[in-house]
Amino acid sequence: MQDEHAAIDQRGHRMKQAEPIEWTGYLFVAFFAVPFLLFNVGPILFGLFVSLTEWNIIGSPDWVGAANYLQALSDPWIHQAFTNVLIYGLLIVPGVVVLGLGAALFVNAGYPLTGIARTLFFAPHVVSATVIGLVWVWLLDTRYGLINVYLGRVGVDPIPWLTSAEWVIFGVSIASVWWDMGLAFVLFLAALQDVPKDLLEAAEMDGANRIKRFWFVTLPLIRPALSMVVTLQLIATLRIFSQVYVMTNGGPAGASASPIHYIYNVAIERYLFGYASAIGVLLFILILVVTLLHRTVLRETV
C-alpha cells in the first residue's frame, strides 16, 4: 500500500521534472499567431462590427443595428445571387464528383500512359482564374468558339453560352468543372490507392463483375473521400467569384452573379462597406451550416 503511494508520488514527481514547460514554444508559435490574429481573426471580428454600421470609405461609421441584415433579406439582387449559387452547386458539384471519380478510376486501373493522364487531369487546377476564364470565354464564343463550331457540325444551333440569361450559368459551370476537377481527382485517387487489392481479388473470385466490385467493394471504402470532395466542392462553389468576374462580370443583368460577386459590387462600386460585410456574414453562416451538416452526416455514416 505504502509502496504504491510512493510509486505514484515518484512518478508524478518524475513527470514534473522530466517534462518542464518549454516556454520557447510560445515564442515559436507567436511568429505565426501574430499575423494570424491580425489578418485572419481580426478582420472577421471587425467585419461583424462593420456589418452593424453604415460605413463608406470616407467618414466614420454610423451604428444602424440590424438594418443591413434586414435590408439584405429583402434585396432582390441577393435573392438572385443566392439562387444562382445554388444552381451553380447543382451543376458543378455533380460534374466535379462524377468526372473526378471517373478520371481517378481510369488512372488507378494501371493502363499504359496513365502517368501523363494523372498530370493532365490535374493541370487545369494549377492555373489562375484569369487563365480559366479567358480560355473558356474564347471556347464558348457563340459564333466562333470551338464548342459551338463542333456542335454545329453535328447539327446543333449555336448556343449563347455566356450572353443569354438562360445559358450563362451553364457556361460558367463548364469552365468551373474544368478548373476544379483536378482536386477531386487527386483526393479520389489517393482513396482508391488505399483500397486493399486482396478485397477486390476476393470479390472477383466470387464472380463479381467490375460494376459490382465498384459498387459493393470500392465505393463503400472510398465514402469518406466522396463525402469530403462533395463538401469541399460545395463550399468552393458557394464562394465562386473569380471565374464569374472574368467571364461575365455577373451578367447579363445579374444572371450569373454569385454572392461574392455581389459583395464585390456593393463594396467596390457603391462603397457600402457595412452592407457588404453583412452579406459576407450571411454567406459565412450558410457555409458554416453546410460544414456542420457534413460533419454530422460523416459521423453517422462512417
Partner 1 sequence: MAALVERISTYLHERGLRVVDIPIWIGGMLFLLAWASPFLWMVTTSFKYPEDVLTTHIEWIPRRVTIDNFIQVFELPVLRWALNSAVQAIIATFFCVVFGAMAGFALARMRFPGRGAIFMVFLASLMVPTEVSVVPMLLAFVKVGWASTYQALILPMIANVLSLYIFRQFFLSFPQELLDAARMDGANIMRAFWLIAFPLARAPAVAAAVIIFTLNWNNFLWPLLVTFDESMKTLPVGIAQFAPNVGTHTQIEGYAVAMAAITMLSIPSLVVFFLLQKHFISGISQGGIKQ
**C-beta of residue 133 within 8 angstroms of C-beta of residue 247:** yes
Nearer to partner 1, 41 or 156 (CB): 41
Site for partner 1 in 109-168 (CB under 8 A): 109-113, 117, 119-131, 133-139, 141, 143-144, 146, 149-150, 152, 162
Q: Contacting partner 1 (CB under 8 A), which of 268, 289, 293, 297?
A: 268
Q: Contacting partner 1 (CB under 8 A), which of 6, 7, 8, 33?
A: 33
Q: Contacting partner 1 (CB under 8 A), which of 151, 214, 223, 239?
A: 239
**Where do runs of H (alpha helix) occur along 154-272?**
168-193, 197-205, 210-213, 219-221, 223-238, 242-247, 259-264
Q: Contacting partner 1 (CB under 8 A), which of 6, 36, 66, 215?
A: 36
- How far is CA 42 from each of CA 55, 210, 218, 280, 288, rounded to the nearest angstrom? 18, 53, 44, 15, 18
Site for partner 1 in 175-214 (CB under 8 A): 178, 183, 186-187, 190
Nearer to partner 1, 91 or 246 (CB): 246
**CA dist., res. 281 & res. 284, Å (int):** 5
Nearer to partner 1, 7 or 285 (CB): 285
Asked if residue 280 binds partner 1 (CB under 8 A), the reply is yes
- Measured from the CB of residue 223, what is the shortest distance to partner 1 in angstroms? 15
Asked if residue 98 binds partner 1 (CB under 8 A), the reply is no
- Return the DSSP state at 58: S
Nearer to partner 1, 221 or 287 (CB): 287
Q: Contacting partner 1 (CB under 8 A), which of 4, 5, 17, 32?
A: 32
Nearer to partner 1, 5 or 299 (CB): 299
Site for partner 1 in 66-95 (CB under 8 A): none
Please name the residue that has the C-alpha cell 520557447.
Answer: 24
Nearest to 276 by CA among 40, 85, 72, 32: 72
- Measured from the CB of residue 9, what is the shortest distance to partner 1 in angstroms? 21
**C-beta of residue 247 within 8 angstroms of C-beta of residue 137:** yes
**CA dist., res. 264 & res. 48, Å (int):** 17
- How far is CA 274 from each of CA 93, 287, 296, rounded to the nearest angstrom? 32, 20, 33
Number of residues in contact with partner 1 under rule CB under 8 A? 98
Neighbours of 151 (CB within 10 A): 14
62 bridge partner residues: 54
Inter-axis angle of helices 273-301 and 76-108, to 10 degrees? 40
- Measured from the CB of residue 33, what is the shortest distance to partner 1 in angstroms? 7
Inter-axis angle of helices 223-238 and 76-108, to 10 degrees? 150
**Where do runs of H (alpha helix) occur along 37-164?**
42-50, 67-73, 76-108, 114-122, 129-139, 146-153
- Measured from the CB of residue 163, what is the shortest distance to partner 1 in angstroms? 9
Nearer to partner 1, 26 or 216 (CB): 26
The three cell numbers of residue 201 are: 481479388
- Measured from the CB of residue 267, what is the shortest distance to partner 1 in angstroms? 5
Asked if residue 50 binds partner 1 (CB under 8 A), the reply is yes
Site for partner 1 in 209-238 (CB under 8 A): 228-229, 231-232, 235, 238
**Piece of the chain touching partner 1 by CB under 8 A; list 39-47, 69-77, 82-90, 214-222:** 39-47
